[in-house]
Amino acid sequence: MPFWAEKIGVPRTLAVEFPFGHTLGQPHDAAQQRRVIEQALEVLEAEGAPGTIIHSPETWPVSQKEATREWQPEEPSPLVRVMTPHFREMLRERRRGGQA
């Protein structure tokens, strides 16, 4: 998640494009997990500078739509339940502001 690594200022990051809760890969795919860890170890071994972000070439073998649905909890989190109407309102205001 390079967006947050950059924002927070993580010393060394391997960015992976995997769904939430699956940082190192799919369950029971030891080969994929091992490849991702090896890429992370290589980031650690490389001559780097604070804030290094290397992007992993690994891809997720499930469609974006399906993967987006699968990582989320069956019940929306308490925050999502409370905040969704506020987010929608914020976005509406932003759009109105943009048009003004």
Partner 1 sequence: MSVDSFKYLPRLIGTYYRMTGGRPELPIPWTPLPQPLSGCKFGLVTSAGLYHRGVEPPFDLAREKQEPTWGDPTYRTIPTDIRQAEVGASHLHINTQDVLSDVNIVLPVDRFRELVADGRVGGLAKYAYSFMGYQGFPPDTTAWQETYGPQIAHKLKAEGANCVLLTPT
User: Among 61, 89, 90, 93, which residue sits at the site for partner 1 (rule: CB under 8 A)?
Assistant: 90
Backbone angles phi, psi at 10, to 5 degrees: -80, 135
CA separation for the pair 28, 24 (Å, rounded): 11
Is residue 67 within the footprint of partner 1 (CB under 8 A)? yes
Cα–Cα distances in Å, from 40 out to 6, 17, 36, 37, 46?
A: 17, 14, 6, 5, 10
Is residue 72 within the footprint of partner 1 (CB under 8 A)? yes
Is residue 64 within the footprint of partner 1 (CB under 8 A)? yes
Is residue 10 within the footprint of partner 1 (CB under 8 A)? yes
Q: How far is the CB of 14 from partner 1 (least distance, A)?
A: 9
Is residue 1 within the footprint of partner 1 (CB under 8 A)? yes
- As given in the structure block, the two tokens for residue 83 are 């905040």
Q: Which residues bind partner 1 (CB under 8 A)?
A: 1-4, 6-11, 15-28, 30, 33-34, 37-38, 40-41, 44-45, 49-51, 55-57, 64, 67-68, 70-75, 77-79, 81-84, 87-88, 90-91, 94
